[in-house]
């Protein structure tokens, strides 16, 4: 039974590494740089460098080739050095995903290339930890992957199917892959579309309007938030030329991304200023 469990981990890890290699080599990253500020707070230099490396095409291809070679090595040899290299690789990946989860969840983990561009969540961290555990268990496997495939015992086949199902459940990349082939649905009019606040803040923080004014904003907590038709307005306290002002952003609520607009208005403590869409520059 123990031997069957160990051999199953070899097949699982080889399959994961080969899939990761294929995704990195065939699915290109979108041409967009990760922001160097998150909610107005500068990103630590080491994490900014980590995100930059992940989005570098040459680095992605090189990493994909390395993963593919490691996956093939698991299939053709049972040498301990290959198993140790696999364990170290997954342990390092677990550390990187954990760091991104805490400090750069918006940057994505890049585990499966451009398919892993979504926010790093607990599932990504748990998946990396389980793969590391599988790599540790595989250290004592007596057979290479090809030898196991030549005569797959029923126990190995069943355990492999269960682990693949668990892997699928913990993989947000599948939703991204399915979304690329999904038929477009009828657009909801922007004035009737539900636009949750996290979406509004994500569009705001990624906009050029926010980048233009973020250094003049005194606090990330907005003074007021309201919606009018196809726009949600978010007002922040700011200071420009030694004067207290309110910086008002107009964020579109449409499904497709639109331009975020901004306006700087005089701060009035007695009556808050709510500019209409026409006054927003």
* pLDDT digits 0-9 by tens, 46-80: 555 555 555 566 777 888 899 899 989 999 998 99
Residues 25-36: tens digit of each pLDDT: 887 665 444 445
Please report, rounded to a whole number, the percentage of residues in the chain having pLDDT higher than 90: 21
92-99: long-range contacts at Cβ-Cβ below 8 A with a sequence spacing of 24 or more? 93/128, 93/131, 93/132, 94/125, 94/128, 94/129, 94/131, 94/132, 96/50, 97/124, 97/125, 97/128, 98/125, 98/128, 99/47, 99/50
Question: Can you tell me the distance from the alpha carbon of 112 to that of 100, in angstroms, rounded to the nearest whole number?
Answer: 15
Whether 107 has a pLDDT exceeding 80, the answer reads no
- How far apart, in Å, are the Cα atoms of 226 and each of 239, 271, 276? 22, 15, 11
94-98, 209-213, 265-269: the lowest-pLDDT one: 265-269
How many beta carbons lie within 10 A of that of residue 234, not counting itself? 22
Whether 129 has a pLDDT exceeding 70, the answer reads yes
Q: What is the mean pLDDT of residues 144-165?
A: 84
Question: Can you tell me the distance from the alpha carbon of 230 to that of 216, in angstroms, rounded to the nearest whole number?
Answer: 27
Q: What is the mean pLDDT of residues 102-110?
A: 70
pTM over 0.85: no
Mean pLDDT, the chain, rounded, equals 79
Q: What is the mean pLDDT of residues 81-109?
A: 84
Question: Can you tell me the distance from the alpha carbon of 252 to that of 243, in angstroms, rounded to the nearest whole number?
Answer: 28
Q: What is the mean pLDDT of residues 248-270?
A: 82
Which stretch of DSSP H or E encloses residue 150?
Answer: helix 145-150
How many beta carbons lie within 10 A of that of residue 130, not counting itself? 17
Residues 6-25: tens digit of each pLDDT: 888 888 999 999 988 888 88
Q: What is the mean pLDDT of residues 148-156?
A: 79
């Amino acid at each position: 039974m123990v031997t069957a469990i160990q051999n199953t981990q070899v097949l699982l890890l080889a399959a994961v590494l080969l899939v990761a290699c294929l995704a990195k080599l065939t699915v290109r990253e979108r041409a967009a740089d990760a922001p160097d500020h998150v909610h107005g707070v500068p990103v630590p230099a080491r994490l900014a460098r980590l995100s930059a490396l992940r989005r570098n095409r040459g680095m992605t291809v090189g990493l994909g080739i390395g993963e593919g070679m490691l996956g093939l090595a698991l299939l053709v040899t049972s040498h301990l050095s290959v198993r140790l290299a696999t364990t170290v690789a997954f342990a390092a990946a677990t550390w990187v995903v954990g760091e991104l989860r805490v400090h750069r969840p918006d940057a994505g983990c890049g585990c499966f290339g451009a398919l892993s561009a979504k926010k790093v969540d607990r599932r990504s961290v748990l998946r990396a930890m389980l793969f590391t555990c599988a790599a540790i268990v595989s250290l004592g496997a007596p057979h290479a992957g090809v030898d196991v495939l030549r005569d797959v015992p029923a126990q190995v086949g069943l355990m492999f199917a269960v682990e693949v199902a668990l892997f699928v459940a913990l993989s947000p990349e599948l939703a991204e892959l399915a979304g690329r082939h999904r038929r477009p649905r009828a657009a909801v009019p922007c004035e009737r579309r539900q636009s949750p606040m996290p979406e509004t803040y994500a569009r705001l923080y990624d906009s050029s309007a926010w980048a233009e004014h973020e250094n003049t904003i005194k606090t990330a907590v907005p003074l007021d938030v309201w919606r009018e038709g196809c726009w949600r307005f978010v007002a922040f306290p700011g200071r420009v030329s030694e004067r207290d002002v309110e910086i008002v952003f107009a964020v579109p609520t449409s499904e497709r991304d639109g331009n975020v607009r901004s306006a700087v208005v005089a701060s009035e403590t007695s009556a808050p200023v709510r500019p209409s869409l026409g006054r927003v520059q």
